């Protein structure tokens, strides 16, 4: 029996230990689904405090209730460790580590390299390695494969290497790890097929593609598509403002067309772990091939300028009341990058607050999901949303349209409102 056939037989019996490197918003939900499917899951994270919390049944990821974690712990199907040496126990390993951008917007694959080095140190025949971290096309083959083959093992025969992009949408009540189709590409067909076999018990729909590069490009296309279309909606907001039209009315009317149009909404700018970052991986890769990704670059410029545009709208609202920005009090509603979650990564609210303070405004914020945050030495605490808090602000700015915010209270007591999300109007206020 070949190594691949032996692995498939053990998959069928669930006689597999599945390793997860990185137990954050991608790795932990995946770990839960794999454990529910019958695998023994060994999670690895470099932060000992995260490991200790997880082993105690305390989830630090909002989309994973502690009860779900306690269920797989009680079943003996999950354990977390900070010891990378234990990765040798795993028959399959999914790498779910961060892939940020540097200050110059170049890819930072240091976490992927560190994870790959850790895997190489315990790599053995029969292991399957799957990268899930979003990255530029070629990373799996050009960065990971040479490191792993330093072990003397041959890919597609002794070990198996694949790429399967994460498609996590934090806070989404409908689509989660199990019911979101999963794209899989392998260095060889055998690598792809084994990765699909490994995921099949835990994921409803698998989408095999011909190579790791194709799989890497799928994720970049998805988020470049969203980035470009959000950029178009944001530019349309500026166009409508200059023409005296209501962009929300225009978009809603356009969305009645049953074909050829997909509704995207304007806002204060891009935030989160994917859309502001992922397209730059593709742009960086193409610059090395002497090609300029014009749509991505222009959309990036438009989206990046939106905090400036909305701060200008605050200044105009204050100016109408003969008040300067300097010395005025501004209450920002919502600092998370999107509604009903606690994540502030790349949130445009941070840029908006910084711009307002640079112009001399006194800024406070309210966010039911973010009690405190720190940015460039600045520490801000969420204030209660009361009639007094709203009434004492010279301007209230809706940046994140959390569903739990009392917009009727805001409408009743605010002197003036700049609503970047159209939150009040959609509620008839």
Count of all residues that appear for the chain in the document: 429
Clarify whether residues 402 and 292 are in a common domain.
yes
CB 362 within 8 A of CB 329: yes
pLDDT at position 364 is 96
Please tell me whether residue 101 adopts helix, strand or coil conformation. strand
Q: Is residue 217 part of a domain?
A: no
Task: Report strand pairing: 78-81 vs 128-131.
Answer: unpaired
Same domain, 191 and 265: no
| Shared-domain flag, residues 268 and 321 | yes
User: Cα angle vertex 73, ends 70, 76, to 5°?
Assistant: 155
The answer to whether residue 255 sits within a structural domain is: yes
Final residue of a domain: which of 209, 238, 269?
A: 209
CA distance 395 to 412: 13
pLDDT in tens, 305-314: 999 999 999 9
pLDDT of residue 112: 97
Q: Tell me the residue range of the domain where 141 lies.
A: 3-209
> Is the per-residue pLDDT at 330 higher than 90?
yes
What integer best gives the mean pLDDT of the chain?
Answer: 95
Indicate whether 374 pLDDT > 90: no
Non-local (6+) Cβ contacts of 199 within 8 A are 164, 182, 184, 206
Give a yes or no: residue 152 inside a domain.
yes
Q: Does 196 share its domain with 250?
A: no
Q: Are residues 189 and 46 in the same domain?
A: yes
- Name the percent of the chain lying above pLDDT 70: 100
Whether residues 112 and 145 share a domain: the answer is yes
| DSSP letter for each residue of 336-368 | SSSTTS---TT-HHHHHHHHHHHTT-EEEEE-T
- Phi and psi, residue 180, nearest 5°: -95, 120
- DSSP element (H, E) containing 332: strand 329-333
Strands 378-381 and 78-81, by their bridges, are: unpaired
Instruction: Write out pLDDT tens, residues 23-79.
Output: 999 999 999 999 999 999 999 999 999 999 999 999 999 899 999 999 999 999 999
Q: How far apart are CA 304 and CA 351, in angstroms?
A: 10
The more confident residue out of 198 and 377 is 198
Q: Is residue 218 a part of any domain in this protein?
A: no
Q: Is 274 a catalytic residue?
A: yes
Domain stop point among 209, 243, 268? 209
Residue 266 CA to residue 236 CA, distance in Å, equals 8
Asked whether residue 236 is domain-assigned, the answer is: yes
Domain boundary among 177, 209, 241: 209
Supply the pLDDT for residue 275: 81
Q: Which residue in 96, 191, 274, 395 is the catalytic one?
A: 274
**Cβ proximity of 28 and 57 under 8 Å:** no
Tens-place pLDDT, residues 221-254:
999 999 999 999 999 999 999 999 999 999 999 9
pLDDT band, very low/low/confident/very high, at 105 (cuts 50, 70, 90) = confident
Q: How many domains does the chain have?
A: 2
- Report the C-alpha gap between 50 and 204 in whole angstroms: 29
Residues 43 and 109 grouped into a single domain: yes
Same domain, 307 and 413: yes
Same domain, residue pair 205 and 240: no
Same structural domain, 203 and 326: no
pLDDT confidence bin for 327, thresholds 50/70/90: very high
Find the mean pLDDT for residues 179-184. 98
Label residue 378 by pLDDT band (50, 70, 90).
Answer: confident
- Shared-domain flag, residues 238 and 193: no
Q: Is residue 290 part of a domain?
A: yes
- CATH assignment at residue 65: 3.40.50.720
197 found inside a domain: yes
Is 219 part of any domain?
no
pLDDT, residue 170, reads 87
The SS3 call for residue 261 is: coil
Contact partners, residue 23, CB within 8 Å, separation at least 6 = 31, 43, 44, 45, 50, 51, 54, 80, 96
Is residue 90 located within the same domain as residue 49? yes
Q: Is the pLDDT of residue 102 over 80?
A: no
**pLDDT of amino acid 273:** 74
């Amino acid at each position: 029996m070949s190594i691949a056939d032996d692995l498939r037989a053990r998959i069928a019996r669930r006689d597999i230990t599945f390793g997860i490197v990185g137990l954050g918003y991608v790795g932990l939900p995946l770990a839960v689904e794999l454990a529910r499917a019958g695998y023994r899951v060994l999670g690895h994270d470099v932060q000992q405090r995260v490991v200790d919390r997880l082993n105690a049944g305390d989830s630090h990821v909002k989309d994973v209730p502690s009860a779900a974690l306690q269920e797989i712990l009680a079943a003996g199907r999950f354990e977390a460790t900070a010891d990378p040496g234990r990765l040798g126990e795993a028959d399959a390993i999914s790498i779910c580590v961060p892939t940020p951008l540097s200050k110059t917007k170049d890819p930072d694959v240091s976490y992927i390299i560190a994870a790959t080095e850790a895997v190489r140190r315990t790599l053995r025949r029969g292991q399957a390695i799957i990268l899930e971290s979003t990255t530029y096309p070629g990373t799996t083959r050009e960065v990971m494969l040479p490191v792993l083959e330093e072990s003397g093992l041959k890919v597609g025969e002794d070990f198996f290497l694949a790429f399967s992009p994460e498609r996590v949408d934090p806070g989404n009540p409908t689509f989660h790890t199990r019911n979101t189709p999963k794209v899989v590409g392998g260095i060889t067909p055998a690598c792809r097929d084994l990765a699909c076999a490994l995921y099949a018990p835990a994921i409803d729909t698998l989408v095999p593609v011909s190579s790791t590069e194709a799989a890497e490009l799928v994720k970049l296309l998805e988020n470049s598509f969203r980035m470009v279309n959000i950029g178009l909606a944001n530019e349309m907001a500026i166009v409508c403002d200059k023409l005296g039209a209501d962009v929300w009315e225009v978009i809603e009317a356009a969305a009645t067309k049953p074909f050829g149009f997909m509704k995207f909404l304007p806002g204060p700018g891009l935030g989160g772990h994917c859309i502001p970052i992922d397209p730059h991986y593709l742009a960086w890769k193409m610059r090395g091939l002497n090609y300029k990704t014009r749509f991505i670059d222009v959309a990036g410029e438009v989206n990046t300028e939106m905090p400036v545009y909305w701060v200008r709208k605050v200044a105009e609202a204050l100016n109408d009341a003969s008040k300067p920005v300097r010395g005025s009090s501004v209450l920002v509603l919502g600092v998370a990058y999107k509604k009903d979650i606690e994540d502030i990564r790349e949130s445009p609210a941070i840029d908006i607050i910084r711009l307002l303070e640079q112009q001399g405004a006194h800024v406070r914020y309210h966010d039911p999901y973010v009690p405190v945050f720190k940015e460039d030495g600045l520490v801000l605490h969420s204030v209660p949303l009361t009639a007094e808090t709203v009434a004492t602000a010279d301007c209230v700015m809706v940046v994140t349209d959390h569903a739990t915010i009392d917009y009727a209270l805001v409408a009743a007591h605010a002197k003036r409102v700049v609503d970047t999300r159209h939150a009040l109007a959609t509620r008839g206020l």
